[in-house]
Amino acid sequence: MTDIPQIVGRLLQALLPLLLALACGALLLLLLERDPVSFYATIIERGLLSRLGLQESLTRSAPLLLLAAGLIVAFRAGLWNLGVDGQFLLAAVITAALAPGLAATLPPWLALPLAMLAAFAVAALWAALPAFLKARYGVNEIITTLMMTFLGISLANLLIKLPFNDPATTSPQTLTLATADRLPRLLGSTVHLGLVIALLALLLVHWAMTRTALGLRLRILGANPLTARHVGLPVTGLTFLAFGLSAGLAGLAGAVEILGVWGTVRADWNPAYGMLVIPLVFLARFHGGAVIFFVFVFAVLSIGGETAARRADLPNYFLLVLVALILVFLALTEWLSARPLMRKRG
Amino acid sequence: MESLLTTPFLTALLAGSLAAGLPLLLAGLGEQMSEKAGVLNIGLEGMMLLGAYCGFLGAWSSGSLWLGFLCGMLGGLALALPMMLLCVWLGLNQIVVGIALTLSAEGLTALLHHVQFSQSYPRLPRVDTLPLPLLSEIPVLGTALFDRHPLVYLAILAVPLLAWLYRSSLLGLNLQAAGDRPAALDAAGISVIATRSLAVLFTGAMAGLGGAYLATVGAGLFVPFMTSGAGFIAIVLAMLGRGRPLWVLLGALLFGLCLSLTTALQVAGLRVPTDLVQMLPFAAVMLLLLFFGRRAALPAALTRPYRRGER
């Protein structure tokens, strides 16, 4: 298990694409006549080494980890839930709408979990239609979840602008949850409890998918649906369960982001974290521990990158290029490391 | 309500649905060929966006719209090349690469636009239309449908052409086989890799052209992230089209109709929330699926890279 060459190989496999992507990014920066060394130094310094930056990176990790946990459930069960952004956003709006009222009437230890539960339920419900269509008619879930995302984003905006609109503000947004009523901070830092919830959820999902009977059933469904049916697994029920859990966790991500950071949702707010987390989960090969590493690296890049881009007078979008490059190189190194294996087999 | 059926309203509605639907049609037709050949191209959004950027830049710097279209197609192709290399030749995961390509196109175009123009958005001059003789003189329909840019007619002509290609030509059958049973195509002595490569490149060019149309004829300017999900809608259209170009055309027009309904309703003096109108096409399709349980039949080997001898 723990022989050193293997660990070194793994580490190289994880770091090589990162370095290659950074090198390509540096080339691009040089073409744009910016100093790549100071750019990257700013990312590390601002996203990882400074006290405040590190806290921001950890805070940013919380919703990403929950989204990743949800995606692991779906992907391992062979269901392509590409609709996490809609589930995330809709749950965030419901949380923002309910939380101020709950916090005013109930003690916080009851109000916050209730809001999160509502977010989980709403998101899971939102995924019930794709789950039904998949289980009953075999309709491809990539189409249906993508469509439900577009529907979800529009519905979320509609809800913000009409029933949940805070009349006291000029631009449409929901009521704001008072800072005192939000998720508690950890040990005097700015990181909120959501990070702990997210880590626990991710580890729990990883354990459940790899070590329990339910996880095995879901993985059989993912490996071969026909086999799953032939060995007598309740395919319909498992499909609903996997979709519900996956979407529910995405909803929880939305709830944590609202209860921990923003306190309100503005119209047209859509961070679209899902599209960034999906490839990370793939490249971690649905492994919980690897996901934590990738998500943290991404969070550092995105927090540090904001400052670095501002200092270099570049738009924030430079980061998207960097992430895309990392993905391509990661996929390439995966391919390279898989090749000797295939040759041996062939 | 009688004000709804006035000439300006109907003209705005029809013209708007065609204008909004055309980029979707072009990209959707492209995506359809990829899907037929077994490659799910999630990078379509990025290809449209890069096409929009290159198309705008080409038209803006050369002054010729057609050069702009060409640049747009080249832009789409430039992003389809890595897709072909990584997904078809090397067999990497299509969803990961597709998302990566979309992200890189979003980042690159926004970055380059910022470096070139900072915060300004230069506009192209208004585009001349080509009124078809006689047809364009029909009231309402004429101005809405037959007084458009020539590319619109070409795009609509492509629909029967592609339908013929898929149904009656050897290439069409090869494409179908590459998606349904690649091993059979291979056994028949035709390269699966080459067939799929061709399909992916075609997709890139069509998506780029769709993006270029959006930026030049449609908006007349380039704004970062301007495709705003059109690529994903086109993917949905191609999947729902079940391999038939005519269905993509109908779907694109339906989506275009819903997208332009808000503007048309404002012409008629009615205020309906944009968000509500934008939900209509998706809601309609979901309901259709729910009640008719129609299988969106997809090629058997979709998203599976082909390796000879692998079962």
**DSSP string for residues in B15-44:** HHHHHHHHHHHHHHHHHHHHHHTT---TTH
Place A342 in a pLDDT band, splitting at 50, 70 and 90.
very low
Checking if the pLDDT of A145 tops 50, the result is: yes
Distance of alpha carbon B311 from alpha carbon A183, whole angstroms? 51
SS3 B222: coil
Of B226, B104, B212, B236, the C-alpha closest to B151 is B212
Looking at residue A1, what is its pLDDT? 47
Q: What is the mean pLDDT of chain B?
A: 84
Q: Among A107-111, A294-298, A336-340, B250-254, name the one with the lowest average pLDDT.
A: A336-340
Average pLDDT over residues A194-217: 92
Looking at residue A245, what is its pLDDT? 95
Q: Is B276 exposed, middle or buried (0-12, 13-18, 19+ CB in 10 A)?
A: middle
Composition of chain A by helix, strand, coil, percent to 5: 80, 0, 20
Distance of alpha carbon A219 from alpha carbon A212, whole angstroms? 11
Place B163 in a pLDDT band, splitting at 50, 70 and 90.
very high
Instruction: Select the more confidently predicted residue: A283 or B295.
Output: A283
Average pLDDT over residues A298-302: 89
B252: its two tokens: 């694109």
- Nearest CA distance, B100 vs chain A (angstrom): 4
Q: Which regions of chain B does DSSP assign to beta strands (E)?
A: 130-131, 147-148
- Percentage of residues in chain A with pLDDT exceeding 90? 38
Composition of chain B by helix, strand, coil, percent to 5: 75, 0, 25
**DSSP string for residues in B268-286:** TT----HHHHHHHHHHHHH
Instruction: Select the more confidently predicted residue: B303 or A219.
Output: A219
Answer yes or no: is A26 within a domain: no
**Cα torsion at A246, A250, A256, A258 (round to 10°)?**
-150
Answer yes or no: is A140 within a domain: yes
Contact A328 B86 (CB under 8 A): yes
Looking at residue A162, what is its pLDDT? 84
Checking if the pLDDT of A344 tops 60, the result is: no
Q: What is the mean pLDDT of chain A?
A: 87
Looking at residue A343, what is its pLDDT? 45
- Nearest CA distance, A254 vs chain B (angstrom): 20
Answer yes or no: is A131 within a domain: yes
Would you say B102 and B46 are in contact if contact means Cβ atoms under 8 Å apart?
Answer: yes
**Chain B residues lying within 8 Å of A270, measured CB to CB:** none
Checking if the pLDDT of B311 tops 60, the result is: no
Give the domain extent around A207: 63-288
Instruction: Enumerate residues 101 to 130 of chain B having a beta carbon within 8 A of any beta carbon in chain A.
Output: 101-104, 106-108, 110-111, 114-115
Place B205 in a pLDDT band, splitting at 50, 70 and 90.
very high
Q: Where are the domains of chain B?
A: 2-118+133-292
Of B44, B68, B28, the C-alpha closest to B219 is B68
Distance of alpha carbon A60 from alpha carbon A271, whole angstroms? 11
Buried/exposed code over A284-298 (b: 16+ C-beta within 10 A; e: otherwise): bebbbebbbebbbbb
**Chain A residues lying within 8 Å of B278, measured CB to CB:** 150, 154
Could you report the per-residue pLDDT of A214-236, keeping only the tens digit for each?
999 999 888 888 888 898 899 89
Checking if the pLDDT of B293 tops 80, the result is: no
Buried/exposed code over A153-171 (b: 16+ C-beta within 10 A; e: otherwise): bbbbbbbbbeebbbeeeee
Number of H helices, E strands in chain A: 14, 0
Could you report the per-residue pLDDT of B94-123, keeping only the tens digit for each?
888 888 899 889 988 988 888 888 777 777
Looking at residue A340, what is its pLDDT? 53
Checking if the pLDDT of A2 tops 60, the result is: no
Q: Among B37-46, B131-140, B147-156, name the one with the lowest average pLDDT.
A: B131-140
Residue B57 Cα to chain centre, angstroms: 20
Between A and B, how many residue pairs show a Cβ–Cβ distance under 8 A? 141
| HSE-CB for A324 with a 13 A CA cutoff | 23
CATH class of B2-118+133-292: mainly alpha
Instruction: Select the more confidently predicted residue: A268 or B264.
Output: A268
What sign for the dihedral angle of Cα B16, B19, B20, B24? positive
Contact B107 A317 (CB under 8 A): yes
| B66: CB partners within 8 A, 6+ apart | none
Place A3 in a pLDDT band, splitting at 50, 70 and 90.
low
Interface mutation vs chain B, best among A151, A280, A314, most B CBs within 10 Å: A151
**Chain B residues lying within 8 Å of A320, measured CB to CB:** 103-104, 106-107, 110
- Nearest CA distance, B36 vs chain A (angstrom): 15
Contact B278 A346 (CB under 8 A): no
**Cα torsion at A172, A174, A178, A184 (round to 10°)?**
-120
Of B273, B261, B258, the C-alpha closest to B4 is B261
Number of domain units in chain A? 1
Interface mutation vs chain A, best among B99, B287, B303, B310, most A CBs within 10 Å: B99
Looking at residue B135, what is its pLDDT? 66
Distance of alpha carbon B70 from alpha carbon B72, whole angstroms? 5
Would you say B180 and B11 are in contact if contact means Cβ atoms under 8 Å apart?
Answer: no
Could you report the per-residue pLDDT of B253-264, keeping only the tens digit for each?
888 888 777 767
Looking at residue A346, what is its pLDDT? 34
Could you report the per-residue pLDDT of A46-61, keeping only the tens digit for each?
888 998 899 999 999 9
Answer yes or no: is A115 within a domain: yes
Place A320 in a pLDDT band, splitting at 50, 70 and 90.
confident
| A136 interface with B at CB cutoff 8 Å | yes
A183: its two tokens: 């998720």
Instruction: Enumerate residues 275 to 294 of chain B having a beta carbon within 8 A of any beta carbon in chain A.
Output: 275-276, 278-279, 282-283, 285-286, 289-290, 293-294
Answer yes or no: is A303 within a domain: no
- Nearest CA distance, B295 vs chain A (angstrom): 5
Contact B275 A323 (CB under 8 A): no
| A24 interface with B at CB cutoff 8 Å | no
Distance of alpha carbon A101 from alpha carbon A105, whole angstroms? 7
Answer yes or no: is A261 within a domain: yes
A49: its two tokens: 């080494």
Distance of alpha carbon B39 from alpha carbon B51, whole angstroms? 20
Contact B239 A140 (CB under 8 A): yes
Instruction: Select the more confidently predicted residue: A170 or B244.
Output: B244
Distance of alpha carbon B186 from alpha carbon B63, whole angstroms? 46
A173 beta partners: A266
Instruction: Enumerate residues 153 to 172 of chain A having a beta carbon within 8 A of any beta carbon in chain B.
Output: 154-155, 157-158, 161-162
**Chain A residues lying within 8 Å of B275, measured CB to CB:** 154-155, 157-158, 161
**Chain B residues lying within 8 Å of A332, measured CB to CB:** 86, 90, 92
Identify the residue whose tokens are 């619109």. Answer: B152
- C-alpha distances out from residue B161 to B29, B216, B246, Å: 11, 25, 10
Distance of alpha carbon B248 from alpha carbon B246, whole angstroms? 5
Q: Among A64-68, A69-73, A155-159, B145-149, name the one with the lowest average pLDDT.
A: B145-149
Would you say B55 and B212 are in contact if contact means Cβ atoms under 8 Å apart?
Answer: yes
